[in-house]
């Protein structure tokens, strides 16, 4: 299984910010959950700010390509 990486671009009070994630996080399975995770982290760090979603880039994480098969992250219980 290839490990996917995500770069979620958010705008926090008019300032662009990029959150880099990959699907080794138990809460991240695809671009949608990566985006939700990034937004929740931004809300936690900046509770009184205006947060807007700009973009989510998805690609194969190059750091993990040399390992062959990597078992998926365990089931999340949130």
19 near 42, Cβ under 8 Å? yes
Going by C-beta distance under 8 Å and a sequence separation of 6 or more, which residues neighbour residue 9? Answer: 16, 17, 18, 53, 54, 55, 56, 57
Instruction: Give the model's pLDDT for residue 1.
Output: 66
Is this model's pTM higher than 0.85 or not? Answer: no
Residue 8: phi, psi to the nearest 5? -95, 120
In tens digits, the chain (78 residues) has pLDDT values of 688 899 999 999 999 999 999 988 888 889 999 999 999 999 999 999 999 999 999 999 888 777 777 777 666 666
Annotated domain spans of the chain: 4-67
């Amino acid at each position: 299984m290839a490990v996917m990486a995500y770069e979620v671009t958010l705008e926090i009070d008019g300032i662009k910010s990029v959150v880099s994630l990959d699907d080794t996080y138990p809460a991240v399975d695809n671009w949608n959950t990566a985006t939700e995770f990034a937004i929740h982290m931004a809300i936690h760090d900046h509770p009184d700010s205006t947060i807007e979603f700009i973009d989510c880039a998805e690609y194969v994480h190059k750091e993990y390509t040399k390992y062959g098969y990597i078992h998926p992250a365990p089931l999340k219980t949130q």
